[in-house]
Structures are given as C-alpha cells and as structure tokens.
Amino acid sequence: LTEEQEEDESVLSAIERQTENSRKGGTIWEAVRKADEAAFKRLLSENPSNADARGPVGECPIHMLFLYGTETHLNMARYLIINFPYTITQIYNK
C-alpha cells in the first residue's frame, strides 16, 4: 500500500470505530446519536467526565451535537455548555 492508501484506511477505520461507538448502548455517544436528552443528562450527572469523552477521530460530545444539528441536539449542546462551559473550547483532536 502507498502511504496515501494507508492514511485513507486508517481514517476509514477510525470513522468506522466512531460509528460503532455511537451504537454502543448506555454510552454518551448513543445518547448523542439518538438525541436522548434524558439519557444524556443522566450520563453526565452520573459521570461528569463524559463531557470530556473522546471518540476515535478526536471528537467530543459537543462536536457531534453541533454536527447533528437538530433542535434537540442543539438543546443538548446548550445544556452541555451551561453545565460544562469549558466544553465550548474543546478542539477536535486525537
């Protein structure tokens, strides 16, 4: 494989892992994907470090909430920003 093909494969596998993460039950990622506000708030209350979770491509919950961008996702982002204000400055980084 060329260097470029290897990079493409590593990105693809990271994106596949991102998708798998969002489908794992009982996680912050599932709550974000499903726009499940109750589960989202409960998971943050039980474990505030969920606000800092990093996915396989460097994303945090705040990034995914804005990427989904529905009204419910944006309400969840507001909740996150109000209760965990530092999340607004989290960078998308591995």
pLDDT of residue 77: 98
pLDDT at 56: 82
pLDDT (average), residues 9-36:
77
Residue-wise pLDDT tens digits, 30-67:
999 999 999 999 999 999 999 999 988 889 999 999 99
**Within its chain, how far is the Cα of 59 from the centroid?**
5
Residue 25: the pLDDT is 77
Mean pLDDT of 20-38: 87
Provide the residue ranges of all domains of the chain, joining segments of one domain with +: 3-89
> CB within 8 A of 88, min separation 6: which ones?
62, 81
> Among 48, 64, 59, which Cα is nearest to 92's?
59
